[in-house]
Structure 1
Amino acid sequence: MSAAGPLAGVRVVDLTAMVMGPYCTQIMADMGADVVKIEPPQGDNTRFISVGPAPGMSGVFVNVNRGKRSAVLDLRTDDGKAALRALIESADVFIHSMRSKAIASLGFSYDEVAAINPTIVYTNCYGYSRRGPAADRPAYDDTIQAECGLPAVQEQLTGEANYVGTIMADKVAGLTALYATMMALFHRERTGEGQEVEVSMFETMASFMLVEHANGAMFDPPLGPAVYPRTVAPNRRPYETKDGHIAALIYNDKHWNAFVGAVRPCWVEKDPTLYATLELRAKQIDTVYGLVAETLKERTTEEWLTLFEELEIPAAPIHTPDALFDNPHLNAVGLFETVQTPHGPIRFPGVPTWFSRTPGHVRGPAPELGADTAAVLDELGARSTAPRTADSDAEPALGSG
Structure 2
Amino acid sequence: MNGPLRPHYPLTPVSWAFLILAAAFLTLGSMAQAANFELGIIFTEYGILVLPLLIMGFALKVDLKKALRLNPIPVKIAMKIVGASLLMIPGVAFLNVTVIAILMTTVHFIPQTIPEPSAGAGFLVSFFVMAVTPGICEELFFRGMIMNALEGRFGFRFAAVLSAVLFGLFHFNLANLLGPIFLGLLFAWLVQVTNSIYAGMIGHAVNNGFAVTVSWLMTRGQDVSMETGMDLTELFLENKELLLASLAGAAGLLLVIAVPLVWFGLTIYRSIRLDYLKSGDLLKISGQQFVVTGRKNPEAGASSAVWLYPYDQVPAAPHYEDAISFVDLRSLRRDRQVRTASKHWVKGPRPKMRLQESLPFWGGGVLYIAIGIYLILAFRGMTS
Q: If each structure's strand is expressed as a fraction of its own residues, which one has the higher value?
A: 1
Give the TM-score normalised by the residue count of structure 1: 0.24
Q: If each structure's helix is expressed as a fraction of its own residues, which one has the higher value?
A: 2
Instruction: Say which structure, 1 or 2, has more relative contact order (CA 8 Å, 6+ apart).
Output: 1
Give the TM-score normalised by the residue count of structure 2: 0.25
Q: Which has the larger radius of gyration?
A: 1
